């Protein structure tokens, strides 16, 4: 599992960092994203889902400012779809 820490970053930097990491992933791989900016969490969840990634919040405590997301590229994604991400 790859890991990326976007702690201390504010939008749009977390999305740019995560997008770069995801572009290097193979189908079925997972990326653990850690951060501390709640708007970035919502943005990453929305953007990753929109682009076909599976997103799981590993912390369901909305009161906390820190977050962890597990982002997975579906194993059945074609190479062409992966290139578009």
Positions marked catalytic: 11
For the chain, give percent helix, strand, coil, nearest 5.
35, 25, 40
C-alpha–C-alpha distance, residues 21 and 47, integer Å: 14
- Six-digit token pair at 49? 């889902």
């Amino acid at each position: 599992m790859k890991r990326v820490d976007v702690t201390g970053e504010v939008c749009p930097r977390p999305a740019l960092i995560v997008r770069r990491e995801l572009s290097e992933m193979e189908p079925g791989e997972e990326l653990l994203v850690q951060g501390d900016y709640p708007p970035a969490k919502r943005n990453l969840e929305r953007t990753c889902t929109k682009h076909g990634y599976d997103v799981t919040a590993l912390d369901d405590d909305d009161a906390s400012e820190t977050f962890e997301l597990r982002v997975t590229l579906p194993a059945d994604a074609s190479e062409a779809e992966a290139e578009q991400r």
